[in-house]
Structure 1
Amino acid sequence: MKSYLKIVVIGFIVLLTSACKQDLTIKESTFSQSLVPGKFVLPAEDGWWNWGMSPIYDKKGKLHVFMSTIPNSGRWIKDSKIVHFVADTSEGPYTFVDTTFSSPTSTYHNPQVSKVGDDYVMVYLIKDRTTPRIEQQIGIATTKSLNEPWVESPHNPIIKASGSMDGSTIIHASNPTFLVDEDGKYRVYYKSITDKHKSKQFREISLAISNNIEGPYENYEKNPLISYADMGLDIEDPYAFYYKGMYYLIVEDRMDVKSALEGNPKYLDKKELGGKRPGLIYQSKDGIHWDRPQIGYNTNSHYFNHKLARSERPNILWKDGKPEYLFLACHDEDPTAGYFLKIQDWK
């Protein structure tokens, strides 16, 4: 009888454990499910390579793309500049307009462009050529027309590789993304690195806020907003937007956070780092506290049956207040800046 009761108790515990076991699977978002393959665009000139497209329509419906271009003989950390192309449609052809930002003393990299009222806003990574690689900072510029020069903020760099965050010192701020929040304030989400973890440098997602587009910007007191440093992992390349009363953040999953959150962490060597896996998308009611992520986009091999390469720098092209295309940078066999995906009937 005692043996029978023991078996019953053990069976009950097993059933209870199974019933209570949480499904840790990172599911594919409806955003990702809406993505339809487009094409690779913007091949580089001989001796150069292009990276990271930020697309936007002007007031007359002309498509403009701002992106980084780097000489093959140089390095993006020292020699990147931001260039400007136009086209009638996302498929091109694209025509070179001008070099938006270039400097013999600084590198300009990873632009992201938005429209606020009658103004256009560009945020970007800026770095002095002579400083250590880690000392990257963030700048902002505005213009009334995409065909006119951009005016850099007198507060630049608006987010410096200095200052304090969560009891530690900021040593890196880069890859910014800009939005206007529901209260009319201006937010810049960005990749941050602090000295909190001593010799280890983890990429985290932080936020700075201002009452004015040009700044000054103040870091949110409870930064970082998203961090996996306690797991020995990190993420980067945030693209933030506010849509239908919700905040969203699309990021590159450079160290396979997805597998770790599913309870199956994986060791990656240096060759495996970067956007060689699906990106993630987060959702939030306030843009501060973020839900568990879902898959935000898949890989180049998924969409085009190409050899797996790094798909990074997500940027959305908006039309009439709705997301129309997702643009992604890609180190692929195709010598272009990357590819776009149609956002079809996202709900």
Structure 2
Amino acid sequence: MKFKILVLLGIVVFFSSCKKDLSIKESAFSKSHVPGDYILDAPENWWQWCMAPIYDTSNKLHVFMSAIPNDGSWTKDSKIVHYTAKSPEGPYTFVDTIFASKTHTYHNPQVSQVNNTYVLVYLLKNRETPGINQEIGIATSKSLDGPWTESPHNPIIKASGKQGDGANIVHASNPTFVKDKDGKFRIYYKSITDAYGSERHREISLALSDNIEGPYENYSENPLISYADKGLDIEDCYAFLYKDSYYMIVEDRKGIKEMLEGKIRDDGLIKPGGWRPGLIYKSEDGINWGRPEIGYKTNEQYFGDKLARTERPHILWKNGEPEYLFLACHDEDPSAGFFVKIDGWIPN
């Protein structure tokens, strides 16, 4: 009898040890974060969003971001503004408005440098079209102080055409720009198609070009990352090439982490938006992305504050190394968001 019990216990232990660990672990990137501070209070009657930071050649910090009047709408009235500071802590000085228009809204910028050229990509939308019909623009400059020249191919990624699965593209927004290993140029972006009828699910797609200004062509096997078949969204990608690997930080908009862990979700309790930690993916070719890890935390986890929407990740680079992570945050104070220091990140 004793022998049988031991055998049964051995079988239980064996199968328990063989059970696959589905947990989404915290990445070394996230573990390196040291909470900083909330920054960039909006002027009276305005709110600001999506901080895109970059240093110039003299190590002055420039931040480009969206500004929206309180009595307006970001889908109609957003503009891109420019601030400078000596360091992420501030204080910040308003410089000028980069892009504003009576016919289009400019929103969610991301800024990069390629040799001696600065590259700004952004959401571009005709203010008279329905909210979902967003597109993508690009502009370049030899100086962060401008002037900025918009590409003659704008909108470089349109809310039209076909995805790799044959679905019709109805939306393209929230771009991130990368010079790839082959010296060509990539724009990863949030896409939405009509593949699921009236249901609209956010996915991550890719467009490529031999020239910064374009024209850009959609990758034939889009979307690259999608959980649309699960009824889940993913968006706000920030992609970069570091130590010969591609990385992508995204907002986990509807609980992808829990789904991948095999947990039962209660959709009635899932608030859409950045109420959860973000995710980070790694890829050797920037096409095939593996299983994610936790990429950043919420304002509640960093600061102990009341939970707010933490979105739009952007890295501030210094001498080719990631120095700070900036995150937009809808909070009760007037700040655009906050930053955390990236301290000693060693990629796996």
Report the TM-score, using the length of structure 1 for normalisation.
0.96
Residue-by-residue CA offset, 1:101-123 (whole Å, 9 max, x unaligned): 00001100000000000000000
How much does 1:20 deviate? 2.2
How much does 1:11 deviate? 6.1
How much does 1:70 deviate? 0.3
Structure 1 residues 134 and 270, CA gap change in structure 2 (3 angstroms): farther
Structure-1 separation of matches of 2:201 and 2:333: 31
Match of 2:266 in 1: 267
How much does 1:17 deviate? 3.1
- Alignment partner for residue 58 of structure 2, among 34, 55, 60? 60
Structure-2 separation of matches of 1:180 and 1:152: 19
Check if 1:99 corresponds to 2:108.
Answer: no
Q: What are the within-5 Å matches in structure 2 for residues 109-120 of structure 1?
A: 109-120=107-118
Check if 1:279 corresponds to 2:278.
Answer: yes
Corresponding residue pairs, total: 345
User: What is the percent sequence identity of the aligned residues?
Assistant: 66
**Matched-pair contact (CA < 8 Å) for 2:254–2:270:** no
Structure-2 separation of matches of 1:310 and 1:213: 32
Return the letter of the residue paired with 1:107.
T
Structure 1 residues 251 and 5, CA gap change in structure 2 (3 angstroms): same
Structure-2 separation of matches of 1:308 and 1:274: 12
**Matched-pair contact (CA < 8 Å) for 2:240–2:248:** yes
Structure-2 separation of matches of 1:9 and 1:39: 57
Residue-by-residue CA offset, 1:248-270 (whole Å, 9 max, x unaligned): 00000010100110111423448
How much does 1:61 deviate? 1.1
**Matched-pair contact (CA < 8 Å) for 2:255–2:270:** no
Return the letter of the residue paired with 2:59.
G
How much does 1:64 deviate? 0.3
Structure 1 residues 190 and 270, CA gap change in structure 2 (3 angstroms): farther
**Matched-pair contact (CA < 8 Å) for 2:176–2:238:** yes
Match of 2:338 in 1: 339
- Alignment partner for residue 130 of structure 1, among 119, 128, 131? 128
**Matched-pair contact (CA < 8 Å) for 2:137–2:154:** yes
266-275 or 124-133, larger mean C-alpha shift: 266-275
Structure-2 separation of matches of 1:47 and 1:284: 42
Structure 1 residues 87 and 219, CA gap change in structure 2 (3 angstroms): same
Instruction: Specify the SS of the correspondent of 2:168.
Output: strand
Q: CA RMSD in A?
A: 1.7
Check if 1:290 corresponds to 2:289.
Answer: yes
Structure-2 separation of matches of 1:35 and 1:153: 36
Q: What are the within-5 Å matches in structure 2 for residues 78-227 of structure 1?
A: 78-165=76-163, 166-227=165-226
**Matched-pair contact (CA < 8 Å) for 1:40–1:334:** no
Structure-1 separation of matches of 2:167 and 2:2: 59
Structure-2 separation of matches of 1:94 and 1:223: 39
Return the letter of the residue paired with 2:282.
Q
Unmatched 5+ stretches in structure 1 = none
Return the letter of the residue paired with 2:174.
N
Match of 2:35 in 1: 37
How much does 1:149 deviate? 1.3
Structure-1 separation of matches of 2:328 and 2:17: 43
Report the TM-score, using the length of structure 2 for normalisation.
0.96
Instruction: Specify the SS of the correspondent of 1:164.
Output: coil
Residue-by-residue CA offset, 1:123-159 (whole Å, 9 max, x unaligned): 0000001111110000000000011211000011010
Structure-1 separation of matches of 2:69 and 2:204: 29
Match of 1:256 in 2: 255
How much does 1:271 deviate? 7.6
Return the letter of the residue paired with 1:324.
E
How much does 1:60 deviate? 1.5
Unmatched 5+ stretches in structure 2 = none
